[in-house]
Amino acid sequence: MFAPTLTGLGERSHLMSGTITLDTHIADVVNVIRWESLDGFVLVGHSYGGWIISGAAEQVEKKIASIVFLDAFMPENGQRVLDTNSPRSRAEIEEAMKRAEVSRPAPHPSVWKVNEKDQPWVQEKFTAQPIGVAFTPIRLTGARERVQKKTYVRATGYDNPNFERAYAKVKADPSWRTFEMPCGHEVMIDMPERTAEVLLAAA
């Protein structure tokens, strides 16, 4: 299993800069696939990660056996992250730009409806988010739809109109498998065992 850390985040937070874009993060994932010689794998994207796996699929489509959107965005061709950001996120980006800063702070875990017990640990692990990812239009030709196995997982305890639209769209498509999980947005924290079961089922 590989869990790539995106440039500027987590243990790579020391690489935060104003040059980070959506394409940077797509390259982070694509390069792990290429340099680790991965083939026939399950590609999973959570939340913003839906943008990344959609873009990655355009470059490594033939290597992907299954793709999973884990309570994630499913962008359309030409969209920018900014186009789907919440009013809160947009305000944070605008404030960062006014201050000539290249990142915005992560919100409190309660925003994502993380269970109260795990909120302190989650908050400790959060890092600032590069604002440059918000402005790059994504280039899509339908690669993610051409992947043979496709799954969408919806966290029913977290309201998000973007996720609701994506879920409704794929639920009506027989080529997709769908699952609902009664928890907050961070499904792998709130319901780790069930998340593992769903991912194994998607393989």
pLDDT in tens, 155-176: 999 999 999 999 999 999 999 9
**Active-site position among 17, 37, 47, 54:** 47
pLDDT in tens, 83-135: 999 999 999 999 999 999 999 999 899 999 999 999 999 999 999 999 999 99
**Which of these, 57, 66, 59, 203, lies nearest to 148 by C-alpha position?**
66
Six token digits for residue 124: 């400790």
Strand, helix or coil for residue 200: helix
Average model confidence (pLDDT) for the chain?
96
pTM for the model: 0.95
* Residue ranges per structural domain of the chain: 10-202
Q: From residue 72, how far is each of 37, 60, 154 by CA, in Å?
A: 26, 20, 8
pLDDT, mean of residues 127-145: 96
Judge whether 47 counts as a catalytic residue.
yes
pLDDT in tens, 19-41: 999 999 999 999 999 999 999 99
pLDDT of residue 98: 95
C-alpha 119: how far from chain center: 20
10 Å Cβ neighbour count for 3? 7
Q: Look up the CATH architecture of domain 10-202.
A: 3-Layer(aba) Sandwich (3.40)
pLDDT of residue 3: 93
State the pLDDT confidence band at 188, using cuts at 50, 70 and 90. Answer: very high
Burial of 79 (0-12, 13-18, 19+ CB in 10 A): middle
